[in-house]
Every structure is written in structure tokens, then in C-alpha cells.
Chains A and B, each alone.
Chain A
Amino acid sequence: MPAGADLPRIDGLDKLAGRAAYVDDLPTPGAWHGATVRSSVPRGKIRDIHFDPAFDWNDITIVDHRDIPGPNQLKLIDVDQPVLAAGEVRHKHEPILLLAHPSVHKLRDALRAIRVDVEPLPAILDPAAPLTPDLIQYKSDNVLKHIDIRQGDPGPVFARAAHIIEGEYVTGSQEHVYLETQGMLAQWQDGRLTVRGSMQCPYYVLDALTHLFGRSRDAFRVIQSPVGGGFGGKEEYPSLLAIHAALLAEKSGAPVKMIYDRQEDMAVTTKRHPSRTRHRTALDKDGRLLAMEIDVLLDGGAYVTLSPVVLSRGCIHAAGPYFCENIHIRGEARLTNSPPYGAFRGFGAPQTIFAIERHMDVIAARIGIDPVELRRRNLVRTGQPLATGQIYKEPTDLPALMDRALDLAQYKARTQSHAEFNKSHPFLRRGIGFATFHHGAGFTGGGETYLASEVWIEGKPDGTVELQTAQTDMGQGTTTILTQVVAERLGIPTEQVRVATPDTSRVPNSGPTVASRTAMVVGKLIEQACDDLLHQLGRKSGDPEISDDIRRHASLPGKSLVGRAKYQKPASIQWDDKTYRGDAYATYSWATYVADVEVDLRTCRVRVTDFVALQEVGRVLNTTLATGQIAGGVVQGIGWALYENVVLEDGAMKNCQMTNYVIPSAGDLPPIRVVFEERPSHWGPGGAKGIGELPMDGPAPAIVNAISRAVTTTINEIPVTPELLLKATEGRGHG
């Protein structure tokens, strides 16, 4: 079955039937359970650790920072984060000790028999709070990363602008709520420390282990087990958990499983960065953007983790898909004593797109112009630059894309009927709103060059091929679409393609499964590896009957048949990481989302009643899977906009249960109408671009634009919980 066809999910039946063995399901005779002793305060000095003398500690394995063979550093972008606190803790729930025991019951008793005395130090819990010297914990100013994007010279333009509009937009954190919580199994196998578990990026885990243990790569083997959802939550955190399990396995000599329960998972793992974005915009009298000043502030939490790249993507998308000659975007990710925030679907872009798309509606209302018209006048057109100077050369007519989405949603008719309805109903108010936006596919700027991803495809004597990449399927369908890409390029049935389990002992490093890069960037490399394999056969793509050739070649004694490809930066992509000018991404996906809402003024509850998601994503590789990705992203966006409220106490999540952290249920969701415009792009396999993160960007601004219209109040903060909406509408009467 070729790309574009609806190949059912290859992993689907196993998961549906409960056969797929997640890490906690792996039968591991003799395995011990691991657990973590954590800080109970956001910041402090560890004074003492008491072990209850009445408890029998003999058979408990205890690991602290002194057991670490190499540097006590979690290797990510920086190395500022210890894997076990030594002396000082920087956030609540920071790991201090690790315990392991064969009995999970005794382990829990042991946890209760340990008391850590921490002398509290002053903590900073709000990134915007004024700094005093005793609060400085990173460099001289707690700034984890600073980014400046400049185009033209905004300053002088404000003096001659017809309108100057300002606004401030705030987004909350968000928990991933993957169905499978984080889990790792570490054990000695064949002379190597072997780690299996739930992860997005096996090579990140391998790098982190190598660094911490101070050993070579061959000392470790990292294998991905089936993953029950990631959404970015299993990008960097698994490196820490893998290290913890490995330290316990090394010290105890037994296999050690560390599986978080939901409460621990929610309380201690990474989440979406809370943000605050300020806009100051100059426009001419017709609503054309003359100059934009944008300040983006992210709460990074206690350590650097991935904040620099989250900030980067956020800033690059901050001016939206609009043309403006004079732009200054200033971004900062600042330290707070919260558990580190990390990767989450969209990676900073949902935050800044919420801000710009709310701001566009605020501008429209203030200067008295239709929000559709305002966008039509400013959407980028062929030959015009985006914020980083990247020239728009895409085939998509963005105003036409917007118009089509609005038509599908009956935007005009509904705007009118809602106005009628709102005049007559005692307590229900309806509104329709939309957002126009884009999302870059793949790593930012020079990121892909730096990764230098590699993929292999191996022909087997039975005529099948095995695709070897580090790309992980966490439920999004990677295995299925990559199978389709291979089958199409080689001209063989999908049944003859196998996708290797990501295992660092036998697959090359094709980079992480993040950043909407797998289908487009790795997919393209797979096409090239297929071509290499065909070349070795003396054939080319499109030739018929390849299977026999594969069989014959792969059967030759002493010969192997492996097609290879390695990422080469296309000459046409120019990016300067110092000035942040150039082609931030090879290409983007483009979209307009429209949301219809109904607000109940009695309860201040908002229901999304209809949703249209129209996007141009190049060529769709598998319609069912792509539709699922978009619909799922829209649901996650609805959750972020309306329901999901991370309540912080001492900087850490307090409502860390499914009961109290409210994700929408099926009954809360509207019909989601997913529509694709297909314009094959030369960047991805068969013309595909990235889609994984895009749907996270549009729902929140579309929904809040709709709410603001329904209740004729400006709402610039999410989540719009009923409590927030009550406050915002109070004093305005309710009926």
C-alpha cells in the first residue's frame, strides 16, 4: 500500500488487544522496584538524612550522589542539573536518594522511614518577581536563555503610526497526561548496562548515561519499549529516570524497575512552560502592521533542560504568519524554583501564537476593523519576509486558506445568528472565533545540520527489508507511515517492510522523535536510503519487481545489502544562529482554525460547540492517522484553553491526580472537522510536511477569541476556567 493510502496502524491491534508489552509489563524475574526520596521544599540546604533505626535497612539498596561514577550532571543542552541533589535542593520533589528492594511493599515502608532535614533558602516562584542577590542561582541574572530577533527598526515607526495597540497575554502550564506513566527497567545484560523503557529519544538517554557514568557508548544499550503517549513529556525526562534505574541496578546487582504512579508522574515530571507575552504594535490607518515589539517571558523552572530551544521556537513564531517590516522580539527564559519545565507538543509556539492571535483580535476591536480583514491585509505573501527574514516562497495563498476555513465554519452566518441569539437568551451567550497560524517543521535553524541524522535500510535474504532508525512510535503512528514511505519508494508491498525496534545497539542515530520532524526530515532520509539500496541493486525508484533482486543480493555469501543516508544541509537553507536571521525552518505547515463556543453565564462554563481545523501540510501520508493527529491536538488545545489548570504550591503541581487536574472528557468535545489542503512539498517524502505539533497552536486563541466575543469582554489569559471567567465578567451584570 503506497503513501497516501489508509494503511491501518501496524501496532494498533497489539495495543487494542492488550498484547503490547509496556515496560511495566515486561516479565523480569528477580527484578527489584526502585523509588525516589525527594525534597519537600522549593529550595534549601540538605542538613541531615535520618533513617529510622527501628526499620531493617539491611536488604535495601540506597543510592545517593556519592554513588555516581562520573559527573553528577544530567546532560541535556547544559549540564547544570544534578541527577541527585548534593547539598542543595532547587525545587520541590528534587530527587535526593534512590531506594530499591524486591518487595514494593517494603519499599513503600522504607520511604516512610526516611526523613530529610532541609534548611529552607529563599525561593523564587514567579519569573517576573524582582531579583535580590540571594535569589540568583544561574549566571548573574537567572536568565537561562535570551533571544533577540530584529528586523528593520521599530523604534521610530511608533512616532508616525495611526494606531498603537498594546496587550499582555498569559498562558498556564500543562501536564502531558500520557496514558502510560514514565517507567524504566535497567539491568546488566551481556556485559552492558541495558535500559528499556518509555521514551521518545533513545540516543538522548544513551548520551546522558555515557556522560554520567563516564564510560564509552558500548557500555550501554538503550531499547525503546512500546510507549503509551509522549507529547514531549518523554523527550528529556526519561534520561533522568534511566540514570536513576541504572544507578540502582549497578549498586544492587539486580534488574531494577522504576515505574511512576500517576501522582508522582504528575508532580515531578516536566510540563509546558508558563508564559507571559507583551505586544506593542504600530499600525497605519488601514490596519497594516508597521512595527511590532514583542516580549516573551517563559518560566523555565529550576534547571536549563530544553528551555533555550522552547524559547527559540516560541520567539520565531511570535510575530505570526504576518508581514511586518519592523520587528523586535525579545525572549527570556528565567529560572524559578519550580520543577523544570520541558518539552511539550508545540514547544513554545502555542504560547506565543496564543498571544499574537489574541492580539490580532484585540487590535481589530480597538481600531474598529473586522478581524478577518485585519488578517487579510497582513498575512504574508510571496516574496515578503517573515520575522527572521525568511522569504515566503510557499505555494499556499494564506488569505484563501483562511477564507475557506471560515466558509466551512459558516463564520458570517453564525456571527449574525449568534448576535440575535445573545440578545434574547437569559443566560447563554454564543461566539465564534478563529486563528491563522503556522508551525515550522523539523529542528530550528542549524539544528538538523547539527543532528546529522542517519538512517539505514537493510535487505534480507527473504526479500523483506528492515528499516533501521531511532524513531519511536508513541502512538502517533510513526511505524505505519515510515513503512508506507519505504514501500512506496521501493515499490514493494508494506508487508515486506519491517521497522526495527529502536535499540542503540543496532539502529543508527536518526535523531529524536520530536519537533514534527519524523515524517518530513527522517522520511526524506528514508527515501534517500531506499534510493541507495536500489542503486546497489542497479535499479531505481519506480522500477517494478524489486523483491527478487533484494532476495538475490542479500543472499550472496559474505555480502550485506544496506542502503544508507545521512542528513546534508540543503544549500538553499541559510541560517545564522548568532543574529537569528535566515531560514528558521526548511518549511512550515499553515492553518486556520475556527471555534464556536457557548458560555453559560450562570456557571461561567464554556462549551466548544463546533470546531473546524483546516491546514495545508504538504501531502498527507495516511489520512486516518493524520486526521487523528489533528483531532487529538485540537482536544489537547481545548484542554489547555479551558480545563487544564496546573495549581502550584511551593512551585510544584498540587492537583496531581486525574480527579483534580481536569482534562476534557468525550462529553465536553465538539465535532472536530479536520480538513487538509494538500500541496506536495519537496522537503518531505512524497511531499509530506510535519503535522504533530501544529494542531496544538490554533485552538486556544480561536476559542478565547470566540469567548471574548460571546461575553464582550477581553480575556487574555488561559486556561479560561469558570472561576477566571466569573472574575472577568463580574460587575458587568450577568443577564
Chain B
Amino acid sequence: MQVHRPYTLHDALALMAATPTPTPIAGGTDLLVSWHHKPKEKLALLDLSQLGGELAAMRLTADTLELGALTTYWDVIASPEVSRAFPLLAEAARQVGAMQIQTRGTWAGNIGNGSPAADGVPVLMAYDATVVLQSTRGRREVQLDGYYTGYKKTVRLPDELIVAIQIPRRTRKAEWFEKVGARAAQTITKVGVAVVNDEKGWRVVANSVAPYVCRCRNLESALQKGQKFKSPEEIRDILKNDIAPINDMRSTAAYRETVLSRVLFYRLADKA
């Protein structure tokens, strides 16, 4: 096993351009799971922890929140300004693992890991976040809702690092988040959803119901048209074209689909 520990972004990007490409590691809370079962001979890690500057910064301006790639859940929880400006970020952060994970785990790592059950991604996506990618070849911005292309597949090129996540500040008419897991804390999401209605319209983002965290666009357009729902089943019928839940050892497809539509139904009825 090889570990690189660059001190500047410039050096980090240069290392990312080498072959074989090293695996970036931030908090390590995903990468180190089942660590001793993984063969390590060919593993090369790029430790991001010493990169200060832009990557470590969390900046709230009049029109944007920018989370540097090393921003942790705890950074958000501990900032009253950010929590107030983007309440769902703090709400979701508090439901990630427990404090040990919240203080080490990063938002960028949550995106980078690409788990369909990621809890940070739905709220970011519902807030219409943009991912900033950088390599020695330059810098580009990608909408988070276009970032995933399949199960653990993304548009990020092998030599690119996520350097920041940007979220626009908008006026919102509704915003909420719900995580349904097997217990009150330390739990992997069985089904979750983040909903935001702002000046650009409705965004409904669900996790653990498809190969990657996804927007429910059919439901969004129904909401956009002002449709009111008389039962969870009506919502479920619409969602059928938005999600593709599966049976696994944590839950069932039927459970995920039914619960998602029920949670949405009662929340929407509440706000109506």
C-alpha cells in the first residue's frame, strides 16, 4: 500500500494525474469500512487531510454557500449561520451516523462514495447544488443532479478531485427532509426524501430507492402543476416512473415504495 500526503492542491492534482490513479481519502469513514478484508497490495491512497485553503473552507455569501471538499457534517451543525440558511443540511447532518462520524465524514466524501443510501446527497440535490471538479487540466462545474450516471458511476474523470460544493441561496416556500431507517440513530437509510420548493420550483430527491440518489421528476411536475393528492396510492402511481427500489437484506422494494409515498402524502397534506 502507498499513501501520498500532499500539502497543496497543486501537488494533489499532479498526483491524481499519475497512473495508476490514487484513491482520494478524506474522512475515511467510507473507505475504512471492512478495511482488513480488502487486499491492499495494489492500493494507493491520496490523503486529502493536509490540504488547507479553499478545500477546508466553508463560505456563506449573499447568494451562495460554498462547502470546501473537506467540510464535515459537524462544520455545518456547528455553524448557526449555515444551519439557519440551509436548515436541511444541519438536519441531515445530525442523522448521519453519530458524532464520531459527523466530525470526520465529509460532504464531498458522501458524494464521492456514490452510495444510493447517502444522506448528505438528497439535501444537497434538493438545494440544487453544484459540484466543482478540478484536475491539472482545469476546473469545471457539474450539477449534482446530473453527477450520477449509474450505481456508483459518476461523470467525474479519474484524475479529477471534488474541490467544492456550491449551493445557491434562494427564497423557499417549503423544505423538509425525512430519513427512515431501522432505528433512531446509527442507521443506514431504508428510504429517505428531501423536498424543496423555491423560486425555481419543486425538487423532490429520494435516496435508497434507485441505483443512485435521484430526483423524482414526474412527481415534481405534478406538484408544479398544483396537483393535490387524495391518497398515498396516487403518489405511488406517479413515483413508479421515478424510482426503481429493490429487495435487499435491509428492506423490500414494496416497503420502500409504499413508505416513500406515504411520507410524501402526509408531509404534503400538512403543508397544503
Query: Is the beta-carbon distance between A643 and B254 smaller than 8 angstroms?
Result: no
Contact mask for chain B residues 16-49; partner A; CB cutoff 8 A; 1 contact, 0 none: 0000000000000000001011010000000000
Query: Is the beta-carbon distance between A261 and B36 smaller than 8 angstroms?
Result: yes
Contact A647 B249, CB 8 Å, known A603-B263, A668-B183:
yes
Of chain A, the residue at the smallest CB distance from B256 is A723
Interface residues of A in 676-728 (CB under 8 A from B): 721-723, 726
Query: Is the beta-carbon distance between B185 and A667 smaller than 8 angstroms?
Result: yes
Query: Is the beta-carbon distance between B184 and A667 smaller than 8 angstroms?
Result: yes
Contact mask for chain A residues 590-607; partner B; CB cutoff 8 A; 1 contact, 0 none: 000000000001111100
Q: Which of B183, B232, B259, B269 has the most CB of A within 10 A?
A: B183
Query: Is the beta-carbon distance between A603 and B262 smaller than 8 angstroms?
Result: yes
Contact mask for chain B residues 181-193; partner A; CB cutoff 8 A; 1 contact, 0 none: 0111111101000
When distances are taken between beta carbons in the complex, the residues of chain B under 8 Å from A666 are 185
Taking the nearest CB of chain A, how far is it from the CB of B157, in angstroms?
A: 31
Contact mask for chain A residues 578-616; partner B; CB cutoff 8 A; 1 contact, 0 none: 000000000000000000000001111100000000000
Residue A215 at the chain B interface, CB threshold 8 Å: no
Query: Is the beta-carbon distance between B259 and A604 smaller than 8 angstroms?
Result: yes
Query: Is the beta-carbon distance between A665 and B254 smaller than 8 angstroms?
Result: no
Contact A723 B184, CB 8 Å, known A602-B262, A655-B249:
no
Residue A664 at the chain B interface, CB threshold 8 Å: yes
When distances are taken between beta carbons in the complex, the residues of chain B under 8 Å from A393 are none
Residue B229 at the chain A interface, CB threshold 8 Å: no
Interface residues of A in 653-672 (CB under 8 A from B): 654-655, 659-660, 662, 664-668
Query: Is the beta-carbon distance between B232 and A659 smaller than 8 angstroms?
Result: no
Query: Is the beta-carbon distance between A659 and B188 smaller than 8 angstroms?
Result: yes
When distances are taken between beta carbons in the complex, the residues of chain B under 8 Å from A655 are 249-250
CB within 8 A of A602: which of B36, B184, B188, B266?
Answer: B266
Bound: A605/B258 CA distance, A: 13
Residue B65 at the chain A interface, CB threshold 8 Å: no
Q: Which of A263, A603, A659, A665 has the most CB of B within 10 A?
A: A603
When distances are taken between beta carbons in the complex, the residues of chain A under 8 Å from B250 are 655, 660
Query: Is the beta-carbon distance between A723 and B187 smaller than 8 angstroms?
Result: no
Query: Is the beta-carbon distance between A603 and B36 smaller than 8 angstroms?
Result: no
Residue A427 at the chain B interface, CB threshold 8 Å: yes
Query: Is the beta-carbon distance between B262 and A643 smaller than 8 angstroms?
Result: no
Query: Is the beta-carbon distance between B262 and A665 smaller than 8 angstroms?
Result: no
CB within 8 A of A667: which of B180, B183, B255?
Answer: B183
Query: Is the beta-carbon distance between A726 and B184 smaller than 8 angstroms?
Result: no
Query: Is the beta-carbon distance between B249 and A662 smaller than 8 angstroms?
Result: no
Bound: A721/B36 CA distance, A: 31
CB within 8 A of B184: which of A427, A604, A665, A722?
Answer: A665
Residue A108 at the chain B interface, CB threshold 8 Å: yes
Residue B251 at the chain A interface, CB threshold 8 Å: yes
Taking the nearest CB of chain A, how far is it from the CB of B201, in angstroms?
A: 25
Taking the nearest CB of chain A, how far is it from the CB of B270, in angstroms?
A: 9
Contact A662 B183, CB 8 Å, known A261-B36, A723-B255:
yes
When distances are taken between beta carbons in the complex, the residues of chain B under 8 Å from A120 are none
When distances are taken between beta carbons in the complex, the residues of chain A under 8 Å from B269 are 426
Residue A552 at the chain B interface, CB threshold 8 Å: no
Query: Is the beta-carbon distance between B36 and A108 smaller than 8 angstroms?
Result: yes
Query: Is the beta-carbon distance between B255 and A643 smaller than 8 angstroms?
Result: no
Contact mask for chain A residues 69-110; partner B; CB cutoff 8 A; 1 contact, 0 none: 000000000000000000000000000000000000000100
Taking the nearest CB of chain B, how far is it from the CB of A326, in angstroms?
A: 43
Q: Which of B182, B185, B251, B262 has the most CB of A within 10 A?
A: B182
Taking the nearest CB of chain A, how far is it from the CB of B207, in angstroms?
A: 15
When distances are taken between beta carbons in the complex, the residues of chain B under 8 Å from A647 are 249
Residue B252 at the chain A interface, CB threshold 8 Å: yes
When distances are taken between beta carbons in the complex, the residues of chain A under 8 Å from B265 are 602
Query: Is the beta-carbon distance between A643 and B266 smaller than 8 angstroms?
Result: no
Bound: A602/B187 CA distance, A: 18
Query: Is the beta-carbon distance between A643 and B252 smaller than 8 angstroms?
Result: no
CB within 8 A of B266: which of A108, A427, A665, A667?
Answer: A427
Residue A569 at the chain B interface, CB threshold 8 Å: no
Query: Is the beta-carbon distance between B266 and A605 smaller than 8 angstroms?
Result: no
Query: Is the beta-carbon distance between B180 and A605 smaller than 8 angstroms?
Result: yes
Query: Is the beta-carbon distance between B232 and A734 smaller than 8 angstroms?
Result: yes
Taking the nearest CB of chain B, how far is it from the CB of A695, in angstroms?
A: 20
CB within 8 A of B187: which of A263, A426, A662?
Answer: A662
When distances are taken between beta carbons in the complex, the residues of chain B under 8 Å from A664 are 183
CB within 8 A of B180: which of A112, A261, A427, A603?
Answer: A603
Interface residues of B in 156-206 (CB under 8 A from A): 180, 182-188, 190
CB within 8 A of A734: which of B180, B185, B254, B262?
Answer: B262
Bound: A667/B187 CA distance, A: 12
When distances are taken between beta carbons in the complex, the residues of chain B under 8 Å from A602 are 259, 262-263, 265-266
Query: Is the beta-carbon distance between A665 and B186 smaller than 8 angstroms?
Result: yes
When distances are taken between beta carbons in the complex, the residues of chain A under 8 Å from B183 are 643, 662, 664-665, 667-668
When distances are taken between beta carbons in the complex, the residues of chain A under 8 Å from B252 are 723
Of chain A, the residue at the smallest CB distance from B252 is A723
Query: Is the beta-carbon distance between B186 and A726 smaller than 8 angstroms?
Result: no
CB within 8 A of A662: which of B34, B182, B232, B263?
Answer: B182
When distances are taken between beta carbons in the complex, the residues of chain A under 8 Å from B184 are 665, 667-668
Interface residues of B in 237-260 (CB under 8 A from A): 249-252, 254-255, 258-259
Of chain A, the residue at the smallest CB distance from B180 is A603
Taking the nearest CB of chain B, how far is it from the CB of A594, in angstroms?
A: 22
CB within 8 A of B249: which of A112, A261, A605, A660?
Answer: A660
When distances are taken between beta carbons in the complex, the residues of chain A under 8 Å from B266 are 426-427, 602
CB within 8 A of B254: which of A263, A660, A662, A726?
Answer: A726
CB within 8 A of A726: which of B34, B37, B258?
Answer: B258
When distances are taken between beta carbons in the complex, the residues of chain B under 8 Å from A662 are 182-183, 187
Give 21 pairs: A residue, B residue, CB < 8 Å, sorted on A. A108-B36, A263-B37, A427-B262, A427-B266, A601-B262, A602-B259, A602-B262, A602-B266, A603-B259, A603-B263, A604-B255, A605-B180, A664-B183, A665-B186, A668-B184, A721-B182, A722-B190, A723-B254, A723-B255, A726-B258, A734-B232
Residues of A with Cβ closer than 8 Å to B? 108, 112, 261, 263, 426-427, 601-605, 643, 647, 654-655, 659-660, 662, 664-668, 721-723, 726, 734
6 tightest Cβ-Cβ pairs between the two chains A and B: A667-B184, A602-B262, A662-B182, A647-B249, A668-B184, A723-B255
14 new A-B contacts, CB < 8 A, other than A654-B249, A665-B187, are: A108-B36, A426-B266, A427-B266, A602-B266, A604-B255, A655-B250, A660-B188, A665-B184, A665-B186, A667-B183, A667-B184, A722-B255, A723-B254, A726-B259
